[in-house]
Structure 1
Amino acid sequence: MLFSTNTVCIKSEDDKVVDSKGIGRKVIDKLLQTYCSELDGKDFAYDGEKCLFTVGPLPQNNFEFTVILEETSSRAAGGSPVHESPTQANKKRVKRSHLAKKFSVDISYAAKIPLQSVALALRGSESEHGQDVLRVLDVVLRQQQAKRGCLLVRQSFFSDDSRNLVDLTGGVSGCRGLHSSFRTTIGGLSLNMDVSTTMVVTPGPVIDFLVTNQNVRDIRDIDWPRAKKMLKNLRVKAKHNNMEFKIIGLSDQPCSRQMFPMKVRNGNIEIKSVDITVQDYFKSKQVELTMPYLPCLDVGKPKRPNYLPIELCHMVSLQRYTKALSSQQRAMLVEKSRQKPQERMRVVTDAVKSNMYDDDPILSSCGIEIEKQLTRVDARVLSAPALVVGNSEDCIPNRGRWNYNNKRLFDPVKIERWAIVNFSARCDMSRISRELINCGRSKGIFIECPHSLVDEDSQSRRCSPVERVEKMFEKVKASLPGPPEFLLCLLPERKNCDIYGPWKKKNLHEMGIVTQCIAPSNKMNDQYFTNVLLKINAKLGGMNSKLALEHRQMIPVVTQIPTLILGMDVSHGSPGRADIPSIAAVVGSRCWPLISRYRASVRTQSPKVEMIDSLFKPLDDGKDDGIMRELLLDFYQTSQQRKPKQIIIFRDGVSESQFSQVLNVELNQIIKAYQSMGQGDLPKFTVIIAQKNHHTKLFQADSPENVPPGTVVDSGIVHPRQYDFYMCAHAGPIGTSRPTHYHVLLDEIGFSADNLQKLVLSLSYVYQRSTTAISVVAPICYAHLAAAQMGQFMKFEEFADTSSGSVNSSSPPSIPELPRLHADVCSSMFFC
């Protein structure tokens, strides 16, 4: 049995190619009804664009069809209900509802995809068309949901049900739906289903949306230029005629003054064109506007405006919101998206039953039946690694957690010369200082009294963030006899404070001073100060805890041979900002045989590019300025002049389609960097991808709780050929735990499965700023933190402005380089 792949080209009467998925699906559905016999009665799987799949070949290789599609009044295009007299509008509307649109559809054979490819893939063989078959089966699932009127977002679908919406404020709602996709696993062909969430514009009156979006009390307070930008391309439905339109802008004048020409007829003789206001036009239609002082929505064409009063318009449901969420909205989304394991299991199993996949003719003809219950797999729970804290005392984590009650840190620092600076946060600096000192001494950190408490001048608060930082440093210099070794910075806001970036840049780039920022609140108890001190101690070169095996130099494979551990991540700009450079960060372990200390190297690169291009960067003078040179030199200098003989790479953020690039591009750069330093024989490499962005969840069969920390699954649902496993290293007290999916792309070192999985679990317990096991290995978390913090150094909006206004648009804009860290802090864990 095989799938036949056919290319589809749909053209309208004016010979323009139709690229709208909505119209494309309607045309193909109508074609199937009209020409069923010509097509041998075959069912289609249509992707909404240019590909159409059938089980077995069509009767001939090429078809040309004409499809007549009745146009519905709710989607009527062309003339405006506003620009005509009521009589004209009614006549045109009647005409439109019976108007038929003609489309030409060309279908031509492209290729065949043997269904046997999946069987070969399941047996672990290389299969040329394995991924193609899975794509076709996923198209079948998408088509099924499209026919039900769902919003499709990649492999997830969302229905128009108000019960699925959670308000995130600002006119944005989280819409809960379902993800579904086919995967080949060692246990057979699997349907992966999970709860999914996307952001949509909250449906309802446009007026309510604007008031909520701009957080104002009255519609009269709306910032209309900002509203125009927000509303563009959104769809609305007019209350007075139930027609749907796309917004292209706003009118220049309010309804009461916005004029447009209306043709007036006297009997059958056209007399003249009369200018009339939008308000008067609707009054003639017995629609009394209550807010004529508001501008109109322009739902016409660029050169042919069509005005609708805002008060008569509602936002259409299921419109994706693709702009970046605020920190408050993100927090609300996380909180409201949580589901307990039992609830999540129920939603997914109910969805499988209600979707009736077994009734789908294409799946049935392929012999595919979907089980109604979740797949049972065997798992094992690795025991948590023991930790060592102060006085070489053992600390045994319990359910992925531990604490420092009545314990000292393993290697506490001494802080003698420091100060507190306050950027207008409302707090008692003396009390914060006192409690930090007392908490520090109980944990073994000796902290002298701060040399100075520096308050921001009231007149400085009106200055720009950079000026505020400069003025604060002038006060710090005046009040201290010399440069401090540490500064505690009090910020007025916990999230998105515009002081944060300039402050960090000033300290880490220019001054070489370690700094810790906090936002004072009424929840500053002993646990709060302990968490702050964990960060401070790590940044200043101390160590909070150590693995017992690390302390005794007994980590299998790693402590016998000099081993460098790398964590790699790339941070991209927010959604919709393709003009902001991406930031690549790599952290490398240091002081071998330790696996708890790291340093970071960070660079900018082209926007939205995932592969790191600065691992090896040869300069014109023959030297190398790449990331790996920094990390290899640091390893050598801190590891008794030993070169790494083994390098373990943990890479975050890449999809399966990019695995080969990690080996061919990134690993190749690392090898070149090593060779350029004259390091002799190449080390052995182990390359591991860590994926969090997937939809596989693990549940305990006989418990409502999440799986325990240390749970590993390496059978049943893993890849039939590659070496991969799922691990839940962390405890999940809230919601449903998401395991990390580790793919081992290369293992020259030759780890046993046990040793590798224990190493991965151990690296989830060395995160110095936490007293819990984390969900992914610490090097990856550190790389993510380093990229995020260094990204705050630069105002990329300035870069975006200059690049968009470039004279020569054919040449790509140059990517601004990040400021390098000061020599005094470049090897510190500043990102902690």
Structure 2
Amino acid sequence: MEVVQKLVRCPVVVQQVSGSPPKVVPPGPRCRAIIEQMQDADPALFSPRAISDGGKLLYWTRRIESQTFNVNMSRNPNSQFGKFMVQVTLVATIQPSDIAKLQTASGAQSTAANAVATNLLQLLISQAPNIQHNFALHSKSFYISGSPRNRDLPSGGLQAWTGFFQSIKPVLNNILINVDTTTAAVYKPGDLLSNAMEVLGCKDYRRFVDLCANNQQAWSKLRKFYKNVIVEAHPSKKGKISELILEGGNYQFMKDSETKTVAEYFELHHHRPIRWPKAFGVRIGKDAVYPAEVCKIISGQIYKKKLDPDDVAKFLESSVMKPPERLAAIERAVRNDLRYNDSHYMQEAGITVNHTALQITARQLEAPNVLYAGSGPMNVSGGAWNVMNKRFQRPAKILAYAVVCFDSRPNSQNHTQNLVDQLVKNLVKLGVLFFRPKPVHMSFGNQGNVRGSLDEAALDGARELRQMADCPVAPNERQVTFVLVILPQNAAVLRKEVKQWSDCIRGIATQCVRQGKYEKSNDQYCNNLALKINAKCGGTNSFMRSSAATTLIKDSMIVGCDVTHPSPGVTARPSVSSLIASIDPEATRYNAFLSVQEPRRELIGDIRGMMQGAFMDYQKFRSALPNTLVVFRDGVSEGEYSQLETTEIQEIESLLSEVRQRFNHVTQLVYIVVGKRHHVRFFPRDGEGDRSGNCHPGLVVDTELAHSTYLDFYLQSHAGILGTSRPSHYVVLKNDPQWTADQLQDLAYSLCYVYAASTRSVSIPAPVYYADVRTYH
């Protein structure tokens, strides 16, 4: 990318003239329309047009002094309600040298000048396509309403739209544009009333009205679903839904000292009879109420809440693409839709873009050896291996177990018994020791009383164990080691109750299986369950051996950290931070520490306290302190690196300083950010990929995409199964022992082979995976 023009940066304030004091118009579609009208009204001045972010900033190749513009948005030139005042203030000039600096060793540092230059480039590349597809000008993604990959989602009222993501990515000696396909759930555009009937699963109008009036759950669902959705109401009103109103056509209000219904008003003033007066209405703004049948949902509104389980599978149909298909879609978009060099915004700024996909040099890491007891290294192929005829390194000892079946189908008892028999057989083959191979309790559970059903299983099992004279455990310590729980096919809520009972109330391990999966009870399925059960009951499945990583891990404590936030739209729940720390020399056994903090805070508030607990556990288990503390930190963006350095890293260094003074022991710190939420994808050349068309596991890229400030690399550590694999991005913020890039890469890759629940390498190091699981809301 080459930049030859300078631009000026102008903050914008838009105020509505009517009212006292004048009201500032917040950034959004209305503000954007006012700024566009301002430029349309004075083409001589705004030629070329200024680049806008939709409300706060203008960038312009023409230098102007601070100025105020009057804008009329009303068709009536004498109306006061459509008049706005736009104040434009010149604050800075962005030189080509500011853009060039992004490619230097200090280019990615979080300085104000670098942020301004990056934001300018981002607006330049996204301006034309976002205007064309009517998405926010500052958005990095736009979605295409007519894409053949778009799908209706089964829960109703939503569609999955595909589109494209584009982002400026400054790297050392270059400025790149990261382009990728992307998918979002959007509110289905069009008629609001028919859309709402779809949401409640109603084809009959009378049934729909009855549900709204008499079913509080259905009415509440509808109100939450459409809150703040933008609609266009007949004849010319557009705005956000602030509330739903029962029987919108019959809603009464005062007009000219007379009580009227909305239906009467529409027939009298708009000559439009209301066919369904008992259907709900919508309030737009403070008092305007419109019947649902005169409203249309504006196209392209992103649904930001959690999708129903039924919607996820259909959503994936739109989002999952095999690598060749995805690359072809990206190349078509760059060629036909994005067309950067044809954008007059880019031309005015003097920017040219090479439309060819970047070809990079990558390396292939050798997979570590995976070892089970009494055998040589496993045959690892494509990041996967098989545990048939193997034995666990540290088999668990299971005192007793219980079985609770919530699958109420008539043949579920036979399927459950077959599963139990085969599962125990596989566990024994893998080396697990049972005091009592048969379950001490086996029953059907009550879906309406999950906790009671599990309590009954645990108490009944403990009673039976206390009656056994040969039990090797003291009577007051006798309880079931784990509970096998059989769930119906769609049972997300039920499973959540089971895990809450297990993790938060009783502290007894549970292993859930689902209808549609457990009936086969074959070796592969039971072995996969055995991996999880052995780990949950205190065993170790396998060890990893690597020439570089094994030496680094031996005297280190390996830590994974993450913060998980509540679902979008949920404000009453706190965020949960977790820290998972290894205690053994093989980095296969971990202790977990959790902490709650204020919602949406990304930095870990109690990092020092949790890390101190991890050090105590390590010392207790090993009778020594670690020589190196290796922290893999998940869930932070590039803009937060400097905050990590001044908060979490400083807190950890303070603790290490205290350890040095108290125990006369030096522990060095390695702190690595692991990023998954990005759009960088790698595509192998023809014929060089794996069976899925993806790059092979162990692919490392650390040159052409190198961060300009920090040591970093991309590592694709897992085999592709569905769609296009996403590599993980590792950024090293602290490296006290000065480990080489090769050592750090081998360490990260090897830790992807010790995730207990899998016979495959995973996409991120095991401790990060565990931290992510522990913080799941």
Give the structure 2 partner of residue 589 of structure 1: 582
Q: Specify the code of the residue in structure 1 equivalent to 2:620.
A: Q
Q: Specify the code of the residue in structure 2 equivalent to 1:540.
A: C
Q: Specify the code of the residue in structure 2 equivalent to 1:610.
A: E
Give the structure 1 partner of residue 315 of structure 2: 333
Give the structure 2 partner of residue 611 of structure 1: 603
Q: Specify the code of the residue in structure 2 equivalent to 1:596.
A: T
Deviation at 1:281, TM superposition (A): 5.4
Range 125-134 or range 734-743, more displaced: 125-134
Deviation at 1:147, TM superposition (A): 2.4
Q: Quote the Cα distance in structure 2 between the aligned partners of 1:507 and 1:718.
A: 44
2:320, 2:722 within 8 Å by CA — same for their partners in 1?
Answer: yes
| 2:768 maps to 1:784 | no
Give the structure 2 partner of residue 517 of structure 1: 512
Q: Specify the code of the residue in structure 2 equivalent to 1:572.
A: H
Summarize the Cα distance change of 1:301–1:642 in structure 2 as closer, same or farther, 3 Å threshold: closer
Deviation at 1:366, TM superposition (A): 4.1
Q: Specify the code of the residue in structure 2 equivalent to 1:107.
A: V
Give the structure 2 partner of residue 133 of structure 1: 117
Deviation at 1:403, TM superposition (A): 1.0
| 2:244 maps to 1:250 | yes
| 2:103 maps to 1:122 | yes
Deviation at 1:212, TM superposition (A): 3.0
Query: Which of these residues, 707, 710, 713, is aligned with residue 722 of structure 1?
Result: 710
Q: Quote the Cα distance in structure 1 between the aligned partners of 2:747 and 2:440.
A: 45
Secondary structure of the residue aligned to 2:526 is helix
1:425, 1:491 within 8 Å by CA — same for their partners in 2?
Answer: no
Deviation at 1:451, TM superposition (A): 4.2
Q: Deviations over 1:109-133 (max 9, x none)?
A: 1123332123233132457523321
1:251, 1:307 within 8 Å by CA — same for their partners in 2?
Answer: no
Q: Quote the Cα distance in structure 2 between the aligned partners of 1:27 and 1:285.
A: 27
Secondary structure of the residue aligned to 2:394 is coil
Summarize the Cα distance change of 1:505–1:368 in structure 2 as closer, same or farther, 3 Å threshold: same
Give the structure 2 partner of residue 343 of structure 1: 325
1:729, 1:764 within 8 Å by CA — same for their partners in 2?
Answer: yes
Query: Which of these residues, 208, 216, 221, is aligned with residue 211 of structure 2?
Result: 221
Give the structure 1 partner of residue 529 of structure 2: 532
Q: Quote the Cα distance in structure 2 between the aligned partners of 1:292 and 1:9.
A: 42
Q: Deviations over 1:165-203 (max 9, x none)?
A: 322222222221111111112351111111122221112
| 2:428 maps to 1:436 | no
Give the structure 1 partner of residue 73 of structure 2: 69
Q: Quote the Cα distance in structure 1 between the aligned partners of 2:160 and 2:457.
A: 41
Between the two proteins, the alignment pairs up a number of residues equal to 732
Summarize the Cα distance change of 1:734–1:226 in structure 2 as closer, same or farther, 3 Å threshold: closer
1:247, 1:299 within 8 Å by CA — same for their partners in 2?
Answer: yes
Deviation at 1:635, TM superposition (A): 1.2
Cα RMSD (Å): 2.9
Deviation at 1:693, TM superposition (A): 0.4
Secondary structure of the residue aligned to 1:636 is helix
Give the structure 2 partner of residue 5 of structure 1: 9
Give the structure 2 partner of residue 569 of structure 1: 562
Summarize the Cα distance change of 1:477–1:456 in structure 2 as closer, same or farther, 3 Å threshold: farther
Q: Quote the Cα distance in structure 1 between the aligned partners of 2:564 and 2:284.
A: 39
Q: Specify the code of the residue in structure 2 equivalent to 1:167.
A: D
**Superposition map of 1:731-810 within 5 A:** 731-788=719-776, 791=777
Deviation at 1:503, TM superposition (A): 4.3
What's the TM-score, normalizing by structure 1?
A: 0.82
Q: Quote the Cα distance in structure 1 between the aligned partners of 2:752 and 2:104.
A: 33
Query: Which of these residues, 5, 8, 30, is aligned with residue 23 of structure 1?
Result: 30
Give the structure 2 partner of residue 380 of structure 1: 363
Query: Which of these residues, 672, 686, 693, is aligned with residue 688 of structure 1?
Result: 672
Q: Specify the code of the residue in structure 2 equivalent to 1:631.
A: A
Give the structure 2 partner of residue 112 of structure 1: 93
Q: Deviations over 1:241-294 (max 9, x none)?
A: 576454333334463x4445566xxxxxxxx84645717954997756554442
2:104, 2:708 within 8 Å by CA — same for their partners in 1?
Answer: yes
Q: Specify the code of the residue in structure 1 equivalent to 2:243.
A: G
**Superposition map of 1:637-716 within 5 A:** 637-639=620-622, 641-677=623-659, 678-703=662-687, 705-716=693-704
Secondary structure of the residue aligned to 2:615 is helix
**Superposition map of 1:194-273 within 5 A:** 194-216=180-202, 218=204, 219=208, 220-222=210-212, 223-238=218-233, 241=235, 244-253=238-247, 255=249, 257-260=250-253, 273=258
Q: Specify the code of the residue in structure 2 equivalent to 1:228.
A: R
| 2:550 maps to 1:555 | yes
Secondary structure of the residue aligned to 2:607 is coil
Deviation at 1:437, TM superposition (A): 1.2
Deviation at 1:462, TM superposition (A): 4.0
Give the structure 2 partner of residue 797 of structure 1: none
Give the structure 1 partner of residue 484 of structure 2: 489
Range 227-236 or range 188-197, more displaced: 227-236
Give the structure 1 partner of residue 63 of structure 2: 58
| 2:163 maps to 1:177 | yes
Q: Could you tell me the percent identity over the aligned residues? A: 26
Q: Deviations over 1:59-111 (max 9, x none)?
A: 42x1122223355xxxxxxxxxxxxxxxxxxxxxxx69999933222111112
1:423, 1:489 within 8 Å by CA — same for their partners in 2?
Answer: no
Range 757-766 or range 490-499, more displaced: 490-499
Give the structure 2 partner of residue 45 of structure 1: 51
Summarize the Cα distance change of 1:604–1:397 in structure 2 as closer, same or farther, 3 Å threshold: same
Q: Quote the Cα distance in structure 2 between the aligned partners of 1:461 and 1:125.
A: 59
Q: Specify the code of the residue in structure 2 equivalent to 1:392.
A: S
Q: Specify the code of the residue in structure 2 equivalent to 1:581.
A: P
Q: Specify the code of the residue in structure 1 equivalent to 2:30.
A: I
Deviation at 1:456, TM superposition (A): 4.6
Secondary structure of the residue aligned to 1:558 is helix
Q: Specify the code of the residue in structure 1 equivalent to 2:768.
A: I
Q: Deviations over 1:616-672 (max 9, x none)?
A: 2xxxxxxxxx21122111111222x12111111100000111112222211222233
For structure 1, which runs of at least 5 residues remain unmatched after alignment? 72-94, 264-271, 617-625, 792-832
2:751, 2:765 within 8 Å by CA — same for their partners in 1?
Answer: yes
Q: Specify the code of the residue in structure 2 equivalent to 1:327.
A: P
2:181, 2:326 within 8 Å by CA — same for their partners in 1?
Answer: yes
Query: 4+ runs of 1 displaced by more than 6 Å?
Result: 95-100, 283-286
Q: Quote the Cα distance in structure 2 between the aligned partners of 1:665 and 1:195.
A: 35
Q: Quote the Cα distance in structure 2 between the aligned partners of 1:288 and 1:49.
A: 39
Deviation at 1:423, TM superposition (A): 4.3
Q: Deviations over 1:288-324 (max 9, x none)?
A: 65544423x134443x34332x334332221221222
2:403, 2:485 within 8 Å by CA — same for their partners in 1?
Answer: yes
Q: Specify the code of the residue in structure 1 equivalent to 2:14.
A: I
Give the structure 1 partner of residue 404 of structure 2: 421
Q: Specify the code of the residue in structure 1 equivalent to 2:679.
A: H
Summarize the Cα distance change of 1:18–1:765 in structure 2 as closer, same or farther, 3 Å threshold: same
Secondary structure of the residue aligned to 2:352 is coil
Q: Quote the Cα distance in structure 2 between the aligned partners of 1:630 and 1:346.
A: 50
Q: Quote the Cα distance in structure 1 between the aligned partners of 2:77 and 2:277.
A: 29
1:383, 1:710 within 8 Å by CA — same for their partners in 2?
Answer: yes
For structure 2, which runs of at least 5 residues remain unmatched after alignment? 213-217, 467-474
Summarize the Cα distance change of 1:172–1:12 in structure 2 as closer, same or farther, 3 Å threshold: same
2:407, 2:488 within 8 Å by CA — same for their partners in 1?
Answer: no
**Superposition map of 1:288-437 within 5 A:** 290-295=275-280, 297-302=281-286, 304-308=287-291, 310-354=292-336, 355-423=338-406, 425-426=408-409, 427-428=412-413, 429-437=416-424
Deviation at 1:683, TM superposition (A): 1.4
Query: Which of these residues, 112, 123, 127, is aligned with residue 143 of structure 1?
Result: 127
Q: Quote the Cα distance in structure 1 between the aligned partners of 2:41 and 2:494.
A: 65
Q: Quote the Cα distance in structure 1 between the aligned partners of 2:335 and 2:552.
A: 48
What's the TM-score, normalizing by structure 2?
A: 0.87
| 2:152 maps to 1:160 | no
Secondary structure of the residue aligned to 1:668 is helix
1:245, 1:299 within 8 Å by CA — same for their partners in 2?
Answer: no
1:390, 1:408 within 8 Å by CA — same for their partners in 2?
Answer: yes
Range 329-338 or range 133-142, more displaced: 329-338
Range 651-660 or range 324-333, more displaced: 324-333
